[in-house]
Amino acid sequence: AVALLSGIPSASEGAELLATGDRIAAIRALLAAEGLQEAVALLPEASREAGLPAIECAAYQTVASTYPGDKGALLTALLAHVSLDVGSAAYVPAGVPHSYIRGLGLEVMTTSDNVLRLGLTPKPIFIDEAIEALDLGASPQVLRRRVGEIIAPPGAPFEALLARGLTGMHEHAAQVIMRQGRFRLCLAIEGAATITTDTESVVLNAGTAAIIPHDDSAVRVSASGLVALVA
């Protein structure tokens, strides 16, 4: 991050503060940087000069082209770049900033209306509140999984499964996730899925979901394509 930001003149103060280990002061300095349009445009070149891999340089190019002049764009230099294959996941604890660059992802959150943004959005940002909520000691977890394997991050209040066809191993994993006594959600991503309870059956087309309260009976799920199950 220091090497990248050092290649952007108006981000030099933030780079120096980051080099001393003062991340909060560095964040404030980057958010207050002048000439944002020019500074953000330099992100892709600065990432190449810093020797970052091509896939990460492409991510900075996406940021620069999508959010030119955005107040929080320079903060992306402080983020780790993670690429997920189908079925894998990243568990991001509360207090850890994150941003999605490209691809289709399912985000699982507990019930909350407290979303604090630092940038890369046309929505309101809340700098002081977001900085106060930062947890610099929290560690995100990357869980390398294949389709059909249960995703259960240690310490997370949920489990999830991405499954295709729901036969064999996939069917057993689905029964584990969808057992009674849990709040459950089924989302059809590709093809169709059918949710069956003791009293009714519901067909879900791609892009639609069903919610099953914790006190409902156990449910059976069948799918012709890709489905996500969350409890």
* Residues tagged active-site: 117
* Edge-to-edge strand list for the sheet holding 201-205: 201-205, 192-196, 220-223
**Are 166 and 222 spatial neighbours (Cβ–Cβ below 8 Å)?**
yes
d(CA 11, CA 32): 9
Query: Where are the extended beta strands (E) located within the chain?
Result: 89-91, 141-143, 160-164, 184-188, 192-196, 201-205, 209-212, 220-223, 226-230
Residue 166 DSSP code: -
Residues in Cβ contact with 20 at an 8 Å cutoff, skipping those fewer than 6 apart: none
Q: Among candidates 157, 215, 223, which has minimal Cα distance to 183?
A: 215
Q: Virtual CA dihedral for 52, 56, 62, 67, nearest 10 degrees?
A: -70
Our measurement of the distance from residue 105's CA atom to the centroid of its chain's CA atoms, rounded to an integer in Å, reads 7
